[in-house]
């Protein structure tokens, strides 16, 4: 199988208003259908060197990985917040019980 040109690369006209929910994690191009994204991804014959330590995703550049890791750091800080709220609630309940 030979891919001569990226015929499905419709990102050359980014302002035509068509929705493109499928994002290539390698080059940040967007595609309107999953099929087009899959075909496009096959044009990247690069080893994805940067893998996320917290999930299975891999990235071609350090920048892409660090952008992605924001997703995890946000959820971690949210978990810490919930945990603190839990301990605070427990402390308040314990104080009330002592009286
Ligand atoms: Zn791509
Ligand atoms: Zn991840």
Residue 9, H or E segment? none
pLDDT for 31-86, tens place per residue?
999 999 988 887 776 566 788 888 888 888 888 889 998 888 877 777 888 889 99
Supply the pLDDT for residue 39: 85
For the CA of 58, the nearest ligand: 2
* 92 Cα–ligand 1 center, Å: 52
Supply the pLDDT for residue 32: 92
Torsion of CA 82, 88, 92, 94, to 10 degrees: 100
pTM, 2 dp? 0.34
pLDDT for 6-31, tens place per residue?
555 555 555 566 778 999 888 889 99
């Amino acid at each position: 199988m030979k891919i001569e040109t990226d015929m499905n690369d419709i990102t050359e006209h980014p302002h035509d208003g068509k929705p493109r929910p499928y994002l290539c994690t390698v080059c940040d191009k967007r595609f309107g259908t999953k099929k087009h994204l899959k075909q496009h991804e096959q044009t990247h014959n690069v080893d994805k060197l940067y893998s996320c330590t917290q999930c299975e995703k891999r990235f071609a550049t350090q920048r892409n990985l660090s952008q992605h890791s924001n997703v995890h750091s946000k959820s971690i800080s949210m978990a810490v917040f919930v945990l603190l709220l839990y301990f605070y609630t427990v402390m308040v309940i314990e104080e009330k019980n002592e009286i």
